[in-house]
Structure formats: structure tokens, C-alpha cells
Amino acid sequence: MGKFISYLGVTVKGACMGAADVIPGVSGGTIAFITGIYDKFVGSLNNIDSTAVKLLFKGKIKDLWKHINGTFLISLFAGILISVVSLAKLMQYLLSNHPIETWAFFFGLIVASSIFILKGIEGWKIKEYLLLVFGIILGITVCTLSPTTTPDALWFIFLSGSIAICAMILPGISGSFILLILGKYQYIMETISDLTSGIDVMQNLIIIAVFGVGCVVGLLSFSKFLHWLLGKYKKQTILVMAGFIIGSLVKVWPWSNMDAIAKSQFPELIDLPSDVIIEALPGYLQQIEMHYAGAAIFAVVGFTLITGIEIAGKIIAKKRS
């Protein structure tokens, strides 16, 4: 019974990580760190190695399960999955009906995350500033040069999952934010929401399965490379990542997608093709409500949420030491 309660607690912590990973700017890795399971999480993932493969082929399933801490990982990922599936519909609703306030909230989250990441850097010299500037330029370039929409082909869904999942294991970096940059955040949220609603089940199931396989591949390969990179060039890697996040804020600006805002305020535009909406947009611009006050409030709420999480993390870390 004691073990069941313990692993149920892991599932709850996984649900908190999943909730964080659904929101761009909040890192599941940060939640794992705050709840005290980060080291165990990373250690269990790193144990999925050549030894695990040998045990699998030898049919020593019990030894394999123990080696990778299987019950812990299953409990954790069950919580993450439950949270992601349950929150996907809410995120789809908010992005469709309240895009300005939602993106403003994300904007505040990401600004706060950037500040706290940079506060952790010590010994600033010219090299550090140059790396930060390089990251900012890289982020702006990727966001402004990338097309408005990225392909919905399965190979790109696989790639998106592979890249985004790596952020889950890094405190301060959000997997959802990576999906946002890749132009696949809303697409994946809508797919999960439609799947749970029974819409185009087979098609959406294939998309989620491909995305899931991409996540597994990314977690087992790219994550090891990132850990090596952070182990050998930690400061440099974090600086470039922080700069990339700051530069990428141009994509999260609440008023950057005016056709989505127009759709949220004028239902008659929802079923029209994008090119028709773009042509009709000038006629609606004067009628669109910009919700500046609401955006400011939600940006502050997002900023405050990250600040609270970071402060809680520091208090818990101090108590442990």
C-alpha cells in the first residue's frame, strides 16, 4: 500500500509537469526540480541505454524494469499524459476565443523565464554577452524567416516531437514553447482535443502516435546529447538558449496574428480560407478590439506565475541544502 501511495504521488507530480508542458514558458523540468524528482527522472531516462537493450534481448524483463526504474517512469508519464489530454481542449478554446489575452499570458511567462535563466549566469564577460546576442539574433531570425505555417506532414510532426520533448528535461526551457516556434503548438493541441472528442479518430490517432514516437526518439537520443552539452559547455549552452527565447518573443507578441484575432471576434470569418481572410482583413481592422488592458493584466499574471514558481523552487532547494 505504501508503494502504491508513493507512485500515486509520482503520478500527481507528473500531472503537474504535464500541465506545465502544455503552457509555453513553463518548463516541466522546473516542476520536476521543485517537486524533488528531477534527479531521479533524468537518471531513469539515462538508464535506457545499451545495458537496457541487452537485458531486453536476453528476455530479462524483470531486471530491465528495475534497471530503468520502470514503475517510476510509467507512473510519471501517466500523470503527464492525463494532464496534457485534459488541458488540450481548454487551450484550444482559449486560443480560438481569447487569442490576445492567451498570447499575452504566454508572453509574460516567457519574459519571466528569460530573466530567471539569465539571473543564474555568473561571471559575465564580453564572450557571455556575445553568446546572448547570438542567441537573440538566432531566435529573431528563425521566427521571422520561418513560414507562417509549417508543414503538417508526418515527418515534420515526428521532428517536432523529437525536438520539443528535449525541453521537458531542462529546467527553464518549455517544450510547448519549442512547438510554438515550430508552428505546431496549436495544431497538436487541436489534434489531441479532436481525438478526445471522437473527431477523425483514426487520422488524429496516427498524428499523435507519430508525435509520440518522435518524443521517444528525442528523449532517448537528443536528450543525451543535450545533457553532454550542458555538462561540458553549460554556461554557453544556457546563454544561447536564453537568447533564443528572448529573440523568439516576436512570435508570441499578442497582436502578431491578426487573422486569428479577427476570427475570434467575427465568427463569420471562421470557415473562410486564410487567403480570403487576409483580403477581407483591412475591412475588419477598424472594428477589431485590441484588448490592451486585458493583455497587460494577463501578461502580469503570467510573469507573476513564473516568479512564484522560481521563488518556491529556491526556497525548497535551500531547505534541502
Q: Which residues of the chain have pLDDT under 50?
A: none
Distance CA 272, CA 241 (A): 38
> What is the rounded (10 degree) CA torsion for 50, 56, 59, 60?
70
Is residue 147 helix, strand or coil? coil
- Sequence-separated (6 or more) residues with CB below 8 Å from residue 58: none
**Mutual angle of helices 38-46 and 70-97, in 10-degree steps:** 110
Distance CA 240, CA 229 (A): 12
Could you tell me the CA-to-CA distances from 203 to 50, 179, 206 in Å, in that order?
34, 20, 5
Q: Is residue 275 in a domain?
A: no
Q: Is 98 exposed, middle or buried (0-12, 13-18, 19+ CB in 10 A)?
A: middle
Q: How far is CA 92 from the centre of its chain?
A: 15
Q: Is residue 208 in a domain?
A: yes
Distance CA 83, CA 81 (A): 5
Contact 69, 47 (CB under 8 A): yes
Q: Is residue 177 in a domain?
A: yes
pLDDT at 274: 62
> What is the residue-averaged pLDDT of the chain?
80
> Sign of the CA dihedral 145, 150, 153, 156?
positive
Which domain covers residue 219, as residue numbers?
2-87+101-255+290-320
- H helical segments located in the chain: 2-22, 28-34, 38-46, 50-57, 61-67, 70-97, 99-119, 126-145, 154-166, 175-181, 185-197, 201-220, 222-232, 234-247, 249-252, 258-265, 274-285, 292-320
Q: Is residue 268 in a domain?
A: no
Q: Is residue 263 in a domain?
A: no
pLDDT at 317: 65
Q: Is residue 94 in a domain?
A: no
Number of domains in the chain: 1
- Percent of the chain scoring above 70 in pLDDT: 84
Q: Is residue 141 in a domain?
A: yes
Distance CA 87, CA 156 (A): 23
pLDDT at 182: 81
Q: Is residue 115 in a domain?
A: yes
Is residue 68 helix, strand or coil? coil
pLDDT in tens, 229-266: 767 887 888 788 788 878 878 877 888 777 778 778 87
Residue among 310, 298, 172, 307 nearest 245 (CA): 172
pLDDT in tens, 177-229: 788 778 888 888 888 888 877 888 889 899 999 998 998 888 777 767 766 77
